[in-house]
Amino acid sequence: MIPQPIDFQTLPEQEARRFHDFLNVYRAELFPQDPPIPFEERLKGWRYPAQHEVSRAFALLEGTRVMGLADAEWQDDQPENHDIAWSFVLVAPEARRRGLGRILAQTLLESVLLEGRTKLFLATYAKIPAGEPFAHKMGARRGLEEHTHQLLLEGRNKDYVRHALEKAPLERFELVWLDSVYPESELEALCEVFQIMNTAPRGDLEFNDFKVTPEQLRQDAENSCLHDKRWWLLLARDRTTGRYAGFTEVSWHLNRPAIVNQYGTGVDPAFRGHGLGGWLKAAMLERLVQDRPFVDRIRTGNADSNVPMLRINHSLGFKPFLARVEWQLDVKVALEGLRARGKVLS
């Protein structure tokens, strides 16, 4: 089998459906209790990618059957990290440990190197044991250990939520809600507050601080609407200066309204020590319970080293749900190793 380049934006629907089914099998390994992604949803994502998103994908096919898929993605409007790409290499469960991942990986590495990408990041999951040995064989080094944590709302710690809301520092800070829209007048301030996430633990992963621009926020909001995603952003604002001190955000897809993902939660280092993190998360949880009573679970990702945020999450009732490791790969070094061992194509 020889890897074939795949352009999901133009792929005929019949072929796209085969890749869709392949990806849903993989997703079911990680989230067996979740409903599968509908074909129409995934196809829309392929047909209308986010602006400035670059993707290079390759597949291994056995007749019409998808045996493996590799993909690397990056944003071409992020010059501060012009040398990195985020990737995955997937092989059908029944075909793992047969060298197919190595074949796909070499082709992918050759492709991204031509694009000037010299560092590749990939993730492995404890639920798929073949992933970690593959990362080692590729010469990747462990970068960051993390977990997705899940809160079943019926098991939330109501006492902690009540206490966090009661002791909120209302004399100094106020809460500001934004629902799926970024006001033009707030874009610069929002860019600044989102960049708080540059202070989040990144382990041994090597990448530069990211920058957020107003244009990126406009595009993100437009893309979310196009792809049937909705979100709430909750901010804590200093009453004296008007400066945003911290935030938390959640999102859900209209096809899966009962499952909410909580993405960044951050507090500016200058404002830490006031209990803002616990207050923001408790207030968000309280609104979800009140305004979206059909939500049954919230998921959030945390580095295992992020002790302050883990303390808040555990207090709310979040439990470890999915173990994940982020790996970093030097593209040139990995290619040299693969070529030294030889790539067998059949």
What is the spatial distance between Cα 38 and Cα 218, in angstroms, rounded to a whole number?
27
What is the spatial distance between Cα 19 and Cα 6, in angstroms, rounded to a whole number?
10
Task: Give the pLDDT score at 340.
Answer: 83
State mean pLDDT over 198-213: 96
Helix (H) or strand (E) segment spanning residue 259: strand 256-267
4-146+326-341 and 157-316 have identical folds: yes
Fold of 4-146+326-341: Aminopeptidase (3.40.630)
What is the spatial distance between Cα 110 and Cα 105, in angstroms, rounded to a whole number?
9
For residue range 134-178, list pLDDT tens digits in order. Answer: 999 999 999 999 999 999 999 999 999 999 999 999 999 999 999
For the chain, the average pLDDT equals 95
Closest C-alpha among 276, 213, 269 to residue 247: 276
Going 119 to 21 to 94 to 27, the CA torsion angle's sign is positive
| Residues shown for the chain | 346
- CATH 3.30.70.360 matches 157-316: no
Q: With 60 as the cut, is the pLDDT of residue 345 above it?
A: no
Neighbours of 343 (CB within 10 A): 12
What is the spatial distance between Cα 24 and Cα 34, in angstroms, rounded to a whole number?
11
Angle between helix 158-166 and helix 307-316 axes, rounded to 10 deg = 120
The residue extents of the domains of the chain are 4-146+326-341, 157-316
What is the spatial distance between Cα 113 and Cα 120, in angstroms, rounded to a whole number?
10
Widest CA span in the chain: 70
Phi, psi for residue 261 in degrees, rounded to 5? -105, 130
What is the spatial distance between Cα 123 and Cα 265, in angstroms, rounded to a whole number?
21
What is the spatial distance between Cα 300 and Cα 312, in angstroms, rounded to a whole number?
12
Q: What is the 3 state secondary structure string of 303-334? A: ECCCHHHHHHHHHHCCEEEEEEEEEEEEHHHH
Phi, psi for residue 141 in degrees, rounded to 5? -115, 145
Distance of CA 259 to the CA centre of its chain: 15
Torsion of CA 313, 314, 316, 320, to 10 degrees: 80
For residue range 121-141, list pLDDT tens digits in order. Answer: 999 999 999 999 999 999 999
For residue range 177-192, list pLDDT tens digits in order. Answer: 999 999 999 999 999 9
Number of H helices, E strands in the chain: 10, 12
Neighbours of 319 (CB within 10 A): 12
Contact 191, 182 (CB under 8 A): no
What is the spatial distance between Cα 34 and Cα 203, in angstroms, rounded to a whole number?
30
- In order of 7, 85, 112, 189, the CA distances from 56 in angstroms are 8, 10, 8, 34
Residue 37 is classified by DSSP as P
For residue range 33-71, list pLDDT tens digits in order. Answer: 999 999 999 999 999 999 899 999 999 999 999 999 999
